Structure 1
Amino acid sequence: MDSWLTTVGLPIALAIVMLGLGLGLSIADFRRIATYPLLMLIALACQVIVLPAICFGLVLAFGLEPELAVGMMLLAASPGGTTANLYSHLFGGHVAVNVTLTAVNSVLAVVTLPLVVNLSTGYFQPDSQTVGLQFDKVLQVFAIVLVPVALGMVIRSRFAGFADRLAKPVKILSAVLLVAVITGAILNERANVADYFIAVGAIVLIFNLISLAIGYGAPRLAGMGKPESIAAGMEIGIHNSTLAIAIAVSPALLDNTRIAIPAAVYGIVMFFTAAAFGYVVTRRKDLADGGTQNATKPVEV
């Protein structure tokens, strides 16, 4: 995966993705936290605490080699991405909740992501020359994550009409660039793709399914509505693999392509698992509605 596509194209694509996120955000999205305090608390606790702990347990259970273990923890610490908003919309989730969670998670990730990566590096690679994300690198993560988002928000606040017109082309451009980067990376590593899936495919799949289940199940157990729970499930279950890959392969950050392998595999797997998850939860709703209608329908004689 070490090519100009990932070292140059990927950061550019990520910046455009985050800019597109910012174009759709406003201060009101952060104020919405007060509207859904319990949901936000549950979702953020799952994202920041529960999932990294579960991922750590899976890594130990699977006995991954150190670089892949750090890569899994980097993935677990990555916030949700804009793809979660799309899937939430497709399957009846509360998209406004997604937008708020994405915004808050992106801000928190500036602190939590380097913390998880540094702890993981110290645990799994104690004798390695890899030093994780030190303060100067944390500043670069801040620039990668928040500067484009802030720029998009400023554009929206001052030129709302222009931001609305720009949002769709930016989303299309970011999607095209991401597809190009991922395709190029896969073609460049086509001889190793099978080995990557063998190495981390099972743990990535299990972690993704657990993330989706916890993201949806925890709010439902707390009495949240189905749309809000679907939104949380997508947000927590669909990590920003693009961000994780960019941090792993960037020469200025971790500069390690093997650390990027779990996120690269995850970036492919999650499209299918998220779609299956959305189908299952909406299908359950349809079956419940159908069962209720059948139970209350008068019997014709």
Structure 2
Amino acid sequence: MDSALATTALPIALAIIMFGLGLSLVPADFARVVRHPKAVAVALVCQLLVLPAAAFGLVVAFDLSPVLAVGMMLLAASPGGTTANLFSHLFRGDVALNVTLTAVNSVIAVVTLPVITNAAIAHFDPAEGGTLGLQFGKVLQIFAIVLVPVAIGMWVRGTRPGFAARMDRPVRIGSAAVLALVVIGTVVAERDNVGDYLADIGIMVLVFCLLSLSVGYVVPRIIGVTQRQSIACSMEIGIHNSTLAITIAVSLLDSTAIAVPAAVYGVLMFPVAALFGWAITRRREDAAQPGAEDSVSEPVERR
């Protein structure tokens, strides 16, 4: 991929997306974890532990090449994407829970993502890039392009709430456009190998997407989390921040091949999430049960 795109455009694009996330956050989104820990804890366990384990199992079962295997683990370690909020809203999930999960998981991912990615690199030992890995300096770069823009966005939200409200829709549209451009750029850069990559990982990425959405919905329901909260968990866990995974692969690991699983996932996750959301909301018997409409959210208008 063109060096200017890899070193400048992708990090800037991701920073803008994370700034947009910050515009939608208030300190109460973090405090809500303490007041309503159950749904948050279940979702984070699924996101941080179950999904990487599932991705590793799929990688081994499908016998992926080392480079693509690292890419899958990087994808699995990435936090939920901001678009999960929109899908949760469409299918009557608890949007405030999505915002909380995205905020908390983005902070935690600054630590867990490098750990999981480096463990995958050490285990699968991809041939390309000899010194491949996320060293401390690169971890600081992840911090800079993830948490700093979020903090700035939150500051703007606190000091200029009117501006933050006006920017909500443009930033969401821009984020979707950025993801599309990032996916297209990755595919173009690997155009000579796209056919082989799709043959290698297309089915597996689809399985992983369905598994992510299913785990995010079924596990919370088993634990006793409400329908709305479970829908929110499903969308949060199933819709990954593919832009973050691609940016790290291309900009910090200098490998478009490692970015391919995230690019393929970025194409598949929206239609699959839409179909999955439609399927789990066809029957609304749970809504009639006592407590089914409980929510971790406070009655605060966020949009």
AA in 1 matched with 2:268: V
**Cα contact 1:220–1:229 (8 A) shared by 2:** yes
Mapped pair 1:255 → 2:254: yes
AA in 1 matched with 2:259: A
Q: What is the correspondence of 1:262-273 to structure 2 with a 5 Å cutoff?
A: 262-273=261-272
Looking at structure 1, the residues matched to 216 and 180 of structure 2 have their Cα atoms a distance apart, in angstroms, of 27
**1:81 deviation in Å?**
0.5
Please report the TM-score for the alignment, with normalisation by the length of structure 2.
0.89
**Cα contact 1:79–1:109 (8 A) shared by 2:** yes
Instruction: Give the match for residue 293 of structure 2.
Output: none
**1:113 deviation in Å?**
0.1
Instruction: Give the match for residue 298 of structure 1.
Output: none
**Cα contact 2:189–2:256 (8 A) shared by 1:** no
CA deviation profile, 1:66-86 (whole Å, cap 9, x unmatched): 110000000000000111111
Looking at structure 1, the residues matched to 117 and 204 of structure 2 have their Cα atoms a distance apart, in angstroms, of 18
Instruction: Give the match for residue 35 of structure 1.
Output: 35
**1:38 deviation in Å?**
1.1
* Bigger Rg, which one: 1
Q: What is the correspondence of 1:190-201 to structure 2 with a 5 Å cutoff?
A: 190-201=191-202
Q: 1:173 to 1:163 in 2, by over 3 A?
A: same
Q: 1:175 to 1:126 in 2, by over 3 A?
A: closer
Instruction: Give the match for residue 294 of structure 2.
Output: none
Gaps of 5+ in 1: 290-301
Instruction: Give the match for residue 283 of structure 2.
Output: 284
Looking at structure 2, the residues matched to 288 and 45 of structure 1 have their Cα atoms a distance apart, in angstroms, of 25
SS in 2 for 1:284: coil
**1:10 deviation in Å?**
2.4
Instruction: Give the match for residue 136 of structure 2.
Output: 135
Name which of structure 1's ranges 160-169 and 61-70 shifts more when overlaid on structure 2: 160-169
AA in 2 matched with 1:56: F
Instruction: Give the match for residue 219 of structure 2.
Output: 218
**1:284 deviation in Å?**
2.7
**1:187 deviation in Å?**
4.4
Instruction: Give the match for residue 78 of structure 2.
Output: 78
Instruction: Give the match for residue 54 of structure 1.
Output: 54
SS in 1 for 2:283: helix
CA deviation profile, 1:83-109 (whole Å, cap 9, x unmatched): 111111111110000000000000000
Name which of structure 1's ranges 165-174 and 147-156 shifts more when overlaid on structure 2: 165-174
SS in 2 for 1:283: coil
**1:19 deviation in Å?**
0.6
Gaps of 5+ in 2: 289-303
**Cα contact 1:23–1:149 (8 A) shared by 2:** yes
Instruction: Give the match for residue 297 of structure 1.
Output: none
**1:159 deviation in Å?**
1.4
**1:177 deviation in Å?**
3.1
* Percent identical: 61
Instruction: Give the match for residue 173 of structure 1.
Output: 174
**1:166 deviation in Å?**
2.3
Structure 1 runs (4+) greater than 4 angstroms displaced: 1-7, 187-191, 286-289
